[in-house]
Chains A and B, each alone.
Chain A
Amino acid sequence: MTTIELDRPARRSAASLTFIVGLILVGLHVAIALLTLVWTPYDPSSTAGGRLEAPSLLHWAGTDRLGRDLFTQIMIGSRIALQVGIGAVGIGAAIGVTIGVLAAFATRLLDDALAAAFDILIAFPTLLLAMLVVAASDTASLWSAILALGIALSAIVGRLTRILAKRVLQMDFITAARTSGTSWPRIVVIHILPNIWPTLMVNFALQFGLAAIAEASLSYLGLGAPPPNASWGRLLQEAQGTVYTAPFGAIAPGLALLVLVIGINLFADGLRDVGDPTRRRSR
């Protein structure tokens, strides 16, 4: 008893600290991404400095092979990473939650088929699946990358949703709601979605990080957003040839990706406590 009482405030404040640090790191990226819509230190395509300059007061992250400001490119990369994260998770959530909830309600046969389909899709590495989708579309664009990652993520979301929804469906309060005449669609909206939402939100946040990494990988492989979109993956790929002479070209975008992914994981960790009122209890 006593240990639990003593333990709880400490763990709670650790959880909220995680959440706040995560929020700051993600918020930083969001702020930078929004800033690029109105202002960047240099015009991203202008060769404003010398070639492969080291970081300096003029060029905070140095310059690339053509003399373009790297910090500007990384800022724009932030915007692209967030665009891809939001887009892919949005698509993955919309498809995944819908199919997952339907599977939870489906007849035995259809449910088994959908569960198997999720498992097969998940067995494919996300990146491989996304590469297949991009390869299947005619031209590589930012949107084909987002769509590809969204479809790949939807299987993960779908499987999780199905399991969570089935668990909630077993609960007494669902039967209780049915005895007073609550319709199935209404039960999904007021009982099932709110009860699976906290867990889904944490998962979405983690997938957001996954999507950011996957997009960088796609771009690195030349399957992501084509130029002039300065994706971090493409920056990494371009810096590859000069990694010994000008390592900052690879370090800077890598660091930006790392900060975003760590921030999102901390944020997701902290989020676990926010969605659940039984854990929000302050007494």
Chain B
Amino acid sequence: MSLLAVNNLAIATGGHDLVADLSFAIEPGQRLGLIGESGSGKSLTAMAISGLLPPAIVPRGSVTLDGVEVIGAPERKLNKLRGAASAVVFQEPLTALDPLMKLGRQLAEPLRRRFRREGRDLAGIEAETIALLERVSLPQPQRIANAYPYEVSGGQRQRVAIAMALACRPKLLIADEPTTALDVTTQAEILALLDSLVRDLGMALLFISHDLPVVSTIVDQVLVLRQGRMVETGPVKSVLGTPTQQYTQSLVAAARAFDTALGAR
């Protein structure tokens, strides 16, 4: 059975479909890239999977995550699923972290829930917090744990946010444009980190981006989304290498042109 099965998902607001007819599946350990230009419904899809759409936005169809039907599920059931089945890394780590809470304490929160879930001794949380910060290659983990979000760099904040997602040990990691807010060098580092973590921990990955070169380095399969509809899907090589749909072709051409421009500089 698939870890995540999305069937005929539609997401509507005020009688108007923002996403429609969307179907895909992710098997345990598999990596899928969700690509499309800004506003194509990628983040809404991620929120629908977590059962966290805003009240005014209503999903239809079916989303089965780890054997549980998400759409229409009661809050209690969903909250058990979140963290254990899926966790999310967001685009902007500065706003995704509580400004008034030390990073170590923020990281200890999901850790505590996992320790409870697994019936482990809560005394080990502090050591595990430091270990996780080391795991995401943060220098001086002790200092970072004692720092507030504004006291560390953007790249370091994103590493902490990734550590928080890891702390949940989810079966599916959803990364919603996790490198978009970062500079190019940091982007590459964060991608390499996500790549190795997902491999080592055997997690499935739903990687969301509008940036084709970024997506192609980290996923096996891609799904191209346009105005909330699927345009094309398949292995990364064939979809991005020989795109059959005009929209995908234009995305690829745009990415090439951008690369050439960068190379020519």
Partner of B100, one of A180, A181, A194, A281: A194
For residue A138, CB closer than 8 A to chain B, the reply is no
Judging by beta carbons under 8 Å apart, are A195 and B98 in contact?
A: yes
Neighbouring A residues of B99 by C-beta, 8 Å: 173, 195, 277-278
Secondary structure class of chain B's binding surface, majority of residues: helix
A195: chain B residues at CB < 8 Å are 98-100
B208 to chain A, nearest CB (A): 13
Q: Is B60 an interface residue (CB 8 A)?
A: no
Whether A181 contacts B92 in the complex (CB less than 8 A), given A194-B101, A278-B148, A278-B150, comes out as no
Beta-carbon contact of B87 and A179 below 8 Å: yes
Q: Which of A172, A177, A278 contacts B95 (CB 8 A)?
A: A172
Interface size class of B (residues with CB under 8 A): 20 to 34
With A180-B87, A180-B113 as given contacts, are A191 and B165 in contact (CB-CB < 8 Å)?
A: no
Closest to B102 in A: A277
Say whether A182 contacts B109, CB under 8 Å: yes
Using CB atoms and an 8 Å cutoff, list the residues of chain B in contact with chain A: 50, 52, 79-84, 86-88, 90, 92, 95-101, 109-110, 113, 148, 150-151, 161, 164-165, 167-168, 174
Counting chain A CB atoms within 10 Å of each CB, the highest count among B97, B100, B168 belongs to: B100
Q: A180-B88, A180-B165, A277-B148 are in contact. List 15 more A-B contacts (CB 8 A).
A: A172-B90, A172-B95, A175-B52, A175-B96, A176-B88, A177-B109, A178-B82, A179-B83, A179-B174, A180-B167, A181-B82, A181-B168, A190-B98, A194-B101, A278-B150
Q: Which residues of B contact A173 (CB under 8 A)?
A: 95-99
Contact status B101-A190, CB under 8 Å: yes
Rank and list the top 7 A-B pairs by shortest CB-CB distance, nearest first.
A181-B83, A181-B82, A172-B95, A179-B88, A176-B96, A180-B110, A180-B83
The 8 A CB mask of A110-138 against B (1 = contact, 0 = none) is 00000000000000000000000000000
User: Known interface pairs A176-B90, A182-B109. Does A171 touch B95 (Cβ–Cβ under 8 Å)?
Assistant: yes
A183 in contact (CB, < 8 A):
yes
